[in-house]
Amino acid sequence: MRSLWMTRLSTSLEEELEMKKSVETSGRRVKDLSKTLDDKQDQLEKFTKNAKEHADTSKVEIDNLKAAKGELRTEKNTREN
């Protein structure tokens, strides 16, 4: 404990202030990065949701077009007969 206090007391004021400033700066940076991370995760979730909806819509449209193509083919065969 005595060694700890000696180290503490032998630290210069400028060095201590610099360390405190560094800790505060790091804390602010962590908060900013956390906010940025949350924003990016929200954007990713929105993009993923939109991509899934688009894929589902495209699949339904493709299925409808295949069905229409099949109906046209059967109508053509019926007319030919």
Measure the CA–CA gap between 81 and 70, rounded to whole angstroms: 17
pTM to 2 decimal places: 0.59
pLDDT value of position 30: 98
Is residue 24 included in any domain, yes or no? no
Q: What is the span of the domain harbouring residue 48?
A: 40-81
CA atoms within 13 A on the CB side of 14: 0
Measure the CA–CA gap between 80 and 20, rounded to whole angstroms: 89
pLDDT value of position 25: 97
Is residue 49 included in any domain, yes or no? yes
Q: For 1, which DSSP code?
A: -
Is pLDDT at 44 greater than 80 in this prediction?
A: yes
* Number of domains making up the chain: 1
